[in-house]
Amino acid sequence: MTAVHDRGILEREDERLEANLALITQQFREGFKAVNRIGRPAATIFGSARIPEDHRAYRAARETGRLFAEAGFAVVTGGGPGVMEAGNRGAKEAGGLSIGFNIELPHEQGENPYVDVSLTFEHFYARKVMLVKASEGFVLFPGGFGTLDELFEALTLMQTNKVLDFPVVLFDRDYWRGLLEWIHEGPLAQQMILPEDEKLLFVTDEPAEAAEIVLECYHHRCAEVPAGAAKADAQ
């Protein structure tokens, strides 16, 4: 039902305009209320829904969630299986607050059992806002198009100063190496981004370092330091 509904909303002519506007407004309202209930700083963990429990990324995300919880942070994920489950699981096992902002999909996205505060969205755009709004930083584990979408959404928001700069941490150097090389040799080399834009990303292979980058930035209020140079629009 949701996939069909989304397709209808994205049609140029919308026969259910007022009903769709009301539904989208309600989803944003419920999302804002859920974020307000968190009541503490949080980090958002992204990554594939398809990895099993014995995968290295699952183990690392679980450890990262635990470290955030022990530092007093809530852990926010997309609420599904795989990396999302691992991050929520680590936080919950450590006695922390575990948040899941889920999405209705025709396959693969059931809610994981390690969530304390849960909200399921019908539309990606409302959900994406909450994943950013709740967070002091991002840790992205290996994932597919959804993870890449979240990555570039966050980078665009920071580059254009729609949100204040805060850390975006990529976990697993080998996995992200090709993308980082392309960014350096493509958009940067052709002056489509600025050198400081490339520095918005951190890369690590250690859960402790991933968590520490976000925590260090938060405690030193680096997210409140205005960007030095004006940035061109991301186009």
Higher pLDDT, 66 or 200: 66
Residues facing residue 119 across a β-bridge: 101
Amino acid at 144: G
CB 31 within 8 A of CB 53: no
- Share the mean pLDDT of the chain: 88
Query: CATH second-level architecture of 2-224?
Result: 3-Layer(aba) Sandwich (3.40)
Which segments within the chain are labelled E, that is strand? 42-46, 74-77, 98-103, 117-121, 138-140, 168-171, 201-204
> In the chain, what are the domain boundaries?
2-224
Summarised one tens digit per residue, pLDDT across range 166-189 is 899 999 999 999 999 999 999 999
Closest CA to 139 of 197, 105, 91: 91
pLDDT value of residue 202? 95
Full-model pTM: 0.88
pLDDT value of residue 108? 54
pLDDT value of residue 224? 53
Which residues lie below 8 Å from residue 207, measured CB to CB, with a gap of 6+?
60, 61, 63, 64, 67, 171
